[in-house]
């Protein structure tokens, strides 16, 4: 979600927004950015997190492994590559 309307929504509605990321061939909620993750150090009474945090799609959901890869190589933070998800809920084949 673009940062300006996200920040406006947080200011209007408070610490209630949850963001999720999913793919058709995987399960509905691969990652989740919880309400407290939108704030600095999880302090919902404090400052809204920076754009890097707000650009995140969150943390992997339960029993899900997420890696960004280029071929067989797992990439580091900020590198661009293929989103790879391992979960018992992924589509087979």
Say if 91 falls within a structural domain: no
Task: Tell me what pLDDT residue 64 has.
Answer: 94
Say if 27 falls within a structural domain: yes
Q: Give the chain's domain count.
A: 1
Task: Tell me what pLDDT residue 73 has.
Answer: 97
Q: Are 22 and 30 in contact (CB under 8 A)?
A: yes
Which structural domain, as residue segments, surrounds residue 22? 3-86
pLDDT digits (tens, 9 = 90+) for 17-56: 999 999 888 888 999 999 999 999 888 887 999 988 898 8
CA atoms of 70 and 11, how far apart (whole Å): 38
Say if 93 falls within a structural domain: no
Say if 67 falls within a structural domain: yes
CA atoms of 30 and 44, how far apart (whole Å): 24
Task: Tell me what pLDDT residue 60 has.
Answer: 95
């Amino acid at each position: 979600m673009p940062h300006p309307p996200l920040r406006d929504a947080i200011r209007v509605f408070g610490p209630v927004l949850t963001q999720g990321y999913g793919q058709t061939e995987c399960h509905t909620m691969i990652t989740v950015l919880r309400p407290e993750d939108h704030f600095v150090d999880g302090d919902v009474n404090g400052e809204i997190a920076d754009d890097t945090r707000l650009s995140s799609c969150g943390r992997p959901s339960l029993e899900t492994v997420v890696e960004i890869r280029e071929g067989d190589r797992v990439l580091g933070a900020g590198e661009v590559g293929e989103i790879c998800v391992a979960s018992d809920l992924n589509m087979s084949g």
